Structure 1
Amino acid sequence: MRRNLWLIAAVLLIGLWAWSQHSARTPVATSASDSAPQREQTGPVGNDTARVDDTRGDAYPAFLPREAHDVLRRIAAGGPFDHRQDGSTFQNRENRLPKQPRGYYREYTVETPGSDDRGARRIVTGGDPPREYFYSDDHYRSFRRFDLAEGASR
């Protein structure tokens, strides 16, 4: 009897592990009412590229946090970066960005004030030098594409 209980527990644990691995790879569909107000997009990036808000005279899109401005300047200068992972290949495993060859996308950490680790905010660039820019504030679950104004990275 005791042996059967261990066997059942082991099978349940393996099943839960397999289910969690599958769930992590499968995008979850969310409705507009489930999304936080600041997120305009979940899932794959569409064609709606955020442009710089010229009415504010700001060189960066309004949705980017201030910490992202410094990261964009460092990207344009080729570094230095605060985290060893910055500049590494973003693999786009969830296919939320347009399909490109491996090595096309690079990821960079956007500091989160008060966080003890890298936090969830990232900028992902496409191309070398970067031609495309994407921002995620939820660790790659959603992205917002944006363009930089001329001279914005300086």
Structure 2
Amino acid sequence: MSRRWRLRIRLAGAVLVVVAASWIMLNGGDPRELKVPGSPADRSSTSAPRDSSTPDSGLGTIPESQLPPQGRETLGLIHDGGPFPYDRDGITFDNREGILPQQQSGYYDEYTVPTPGLDHRGARRIVCGEAMDCYYTDDHYASFAQIEEGQ
């Protein structure tokens, strides 16, 4: 392989890293806190104790107290019935990804968790079922953690 091609490959790799880190930061994440599924950091969330009032989904959990402040505020709005800041808050979440427990169509609704510094909805959401089983995602439905309310 010529020196020119090796240089192009290195440059392409560097550009890919910058684009990925930028995308993560624009969607409310910190690239230093990126969790790889199955990694020790990811597995630690699955061992948290479950609140008996929350249906067991088999997913990892997140205590309500560990949600970002905007997530706790959104959860309060959900319990209060609004008003919600985004027109799309409260729309049906279809669970096309199949990550949440299977339920009948229309069971889940989704709500935006604002991300400071963004001028759009970002990637963070809370999805709640009719039984008020609520789940948090900060990566636009790629993964979910069941919210342990009152924890």
Counterparts of 1:94-113 in structure 2, within 5 Å, are 94-113=97-116
Distance 1:117 1:38 in 2: 31
Counterparts of 1:1-154 in structure 2, within 5 Å, are 31-33=37-39, 40=45, 46-50=58-62, 52=63, 60-62=64-66, 64-127=67-130, 130-149=131-150
**Residues 36 and 120 of structure 1, relative CA distance in 2, 3 Å threshold:** farther
Distance 2:95 2:102 in 1: 8
Partner AA of 1:93 in structure 2: R
Task: Normalising by structure 2, report the TM-score.
Answer: 0.61
Instruction: State the identity %.
Output: 45
Question: Higher helix fraction: Structure 1 or Structure 2?
Answer: 2
Distance 1:75 1:139 in 2: 19
**Shift of residue 61 of structure 1?**
3.2
Task: Normalising by structure 1, report the TM-score.
Answer: 0.60
**Residues 31 and 37 of structure 1, relative CA distance in 2, 3 Å threshold:** closer
Distance 1:143 1:137 in 2: 8
Query: What is the match of residue 9 of structure 2?
Result: none
Query: Alpha-carbon deviations, 1:54-83, whole Å to 9, x = none?
Result: xxxxxx232x10101111111111010011
Query: What is the match of residue 27 of structure 1?
Result: none
Distance 2:71 2:91 in 1: 17
Q: Is the 8 A contact 2:59 2:145 kept in 1?
A: no
**Shift of residue 37 of structure 1?**
5.7
Where do 5+ consecutive residues of structure 2 fail to align?
Answer: 1-35, 47-56
**Residues 125 and 101 of structure 1, relative CA distance in 2, 3 Å threshold:** same
* TM-align CA RMSD: 2.6
**Shift of residue 104 of structure 1?**
0.6
Determine which structure has more spread, i.e. the larger CA radius of gyration: 1
**Shift of residue 139 of structure 1?**
0.2
Partner AA of 2:65 in structure 1: P
**Residues 144 and 47 of structure 1, relative CA distance in 2, 3 Å threshold:** closer
